[in-house]
Amino acid sequence: MEPLLEPLGFPFFVRALIASVLVGVICAVVGSYVVLKGLAFIGDAISHAAFPGIVAAFILGGSFYIGAGIAAVGTSLAITWVSRRGGLRLDTTIGVLFAGTFALGIFLYSTIEGYVGDLFHLLFGYVLGISAEDLMALVLLGGAVLFLVAVLWKELLYSTFDPLAAAASGIPVARLEYVFIALVAVTIVVSLQAVGIVLVVAMLVTPAATAQLMTARFGRMMLGAILVGSGSAVAGLYLSFWFDVASGASIVLVQTGAFLAALLLGPKSGLLARTARARLDPQPTMRPVRPAAGLAPPTAQSVATTTHPMTPTGEQAAPIDPSLR
C-alpha cells in the first residue's frame, strides 16, 4: 500500500489526481459524441488553435483559460461555419486553420524575449503543477460541460445518429452542432493543463474508441469511456510520480494500452474472438444455396431475376454478415 498512499501526502499530487480524473471523465463524455460524429481531427485542430490564445494571455498578463477559451471556441465556430457554407471539404478547412493558428502561436511565442520555460508544459501538459485556482476553474467549466451534455443528451444522440430525420422532426440540428463544437472547445481548454496541446486529442478519442470496441449500446459506451478515461488518469499519474516521467504522456500511454487490449480482446473487433469464431464456423459469410441435384439448372429467366435491374453492373452486392465488418 505504501507506494499508493505515499504520493497522497503531497497536496500537489492530490490536486493533480483530482484534476486528471475530472479531465478523464469530461473528455470521455464529450469524446463519445466526438468519436461517433467523426470529429477527432477537429479536436486536434481546436487544441492547436488554443496555443496563440495562451501565448497572447501570457504576453498581456491575462488568464490562461480566457485566452485559450477565446482562441479555441472562436476557431471551432469558424470551422463549423466554413464547413456548413460548403465549397471546401471539411478536412481541408481544418488543415488550413489548424496549421495557421498554431503558426500564429509560435510567432507570438518567439516575440517573448528569453522565455522558454513553459513551452514544454504547454505542449505536453504538466498536471502536477496545477494550482488550486486552476483546479477550481476546471471544476466549474467541466461541471458546466457535463451539465449541458446531460440536458442535451437525447437531442445530441438523435442528431448524431440521423441528422436528417432529427432535423425534420423539429430538433434544431444546426444550432446543436455549434453548441456541441463549442463544448468540445471548452473541454479541450480545461484539459490542456493535464495533457497539453499535442496529446489532448487522445483524451477525447482513445477512451471512447476503446469503449466502442466493447459494447453496442451508447449509454454503456459512455460509461466505459468514463472508466477508461478516469482509470488511466489515475494509473498514468502514479506512473509519472513513481518513475518521474511526463504525466500527460503516461496517461495517454495507459489509454493507448487499454485501446490495444480492447482491440485484441474485445467482443466485436476482438482479434481473438474473431479467430475463435472462425475456428467454430469456418465459413460464416455466405452459404451458397445450390439447387439440389435433379432440379432444373438455372434458366435464362431465373438468371434475369438475380440480376437486379436496379443494381448497376460493377457494384458488388454487399454481404450482410456482421462478422465481415
Partner 1 sequence: MTVGYGERVALEAVDLEVATGSLLAVVGPNGAGKSTLLKVICGLLQPWRGKVETLGKEPGRLAKRVAYVPQAEAVDWDFPVTVADVVMMGRYPGLGRLRRPGPLDRRQVSDALGQVDMLEHRGTQIGRLSGGQRRRVFLARALAAEPDLFLMDEPVTGIDATTQEELMDLLESVAAGGRTVIATTHDLACAAARFQTVLAINRRVVAHGPASLILDPDLLAQTYGGHLLTLGGQTVVLDDAHHHEETPHQVHYHEEAPRRR
**Contact with partner 1 (CB under 8 A) among 151, 260, 264, 276:** 151
Q: Which residue, 157 or 265, is less far from partner 1 as judged by CB?
A: 157
What is the smallest separation between the CB atom of 252 and partner 1, expressed in angstroms? 23
DSSP assignment of 157-193: HHHHH-HHHHHHTT--HHHHHHHHHHHHHHHHHHHHH
**Is residue 169 close enough to count as binding partner 1 by CB under 8 A?**
yes
**Is residue 85 close enough to count as binding partner 1 by CB under 8 A?**
no
Residue pair 7/238 in contact (Cβ under 8 Å)? The answer is yes
What is the smallest separation between the CB atom of 86 and partner 1, expressed in angstroms? 8
155-222-135 Cα angle (round to 5): 100
What is the pattern of x (binds partner 1, CB under 8 A) and - over residues 278-317? Answer: --------x-xxx--------------xxxxxxxx--xxx
The residue behind cell 453548441 is 179
Q: How many residues bind partner 1 (CB under 8 A)?
A: 44
Residue pair 273/247 in contact (Cβ under 8 Å)? The answer is no
CB neighbourhood size of 158 (10 A) = 17
Amino acid symbol at 205: V
**Contact with partner 1 (CB under 8 A) among 95, 129, 218, 223:** 218
Q: Which residue, 110 or 302, is less far from partner 1 as judged by CB?
A: 302
**Is residue 36 close enough to count as binding partner 1 by CB under 8 A?**
yes
**Contact with partner 1 (CB under 8 A) among 170, 282, 294, 314:** 170
Q: How far apart are CA 325 and CA 319, in angstroms?
A: 10
Residue pair 165/91 in contact (Cβ under 8 Å)? The answer is no
Q: How far apart are CA 285 and CA 324, in angstroms?
A: 7
Q: How far apart are CA 157 and CA 143, in angstroms?
A: 20
What is the smallest separation between the CB atom of 310 and partner 1, expressed in angstroms? 5
**Is residue 318 close enough to count as binding partner 1 by CB under 8 A?**
yes
What is the smallest separation between the CB atom of 67 and partner 1, expressed in angstroms? 33
96-99-103 Cα angle (round to 5): 130
CB neighbourhood size of 299 (10 A) = 9
What is the pattern of x (binds partner 1, CB under 8 A) and - over residues 236-265? Answer: ------------------------------
User: Could you list the residues that contact partner 1 (CB under 8 A)?
Assistant: 36, 151, 154-155, 157-158, 160-162, 164-171, 212, 215-218, 220-221, 286, 288-290, 305-312, 315-320, 322, 325
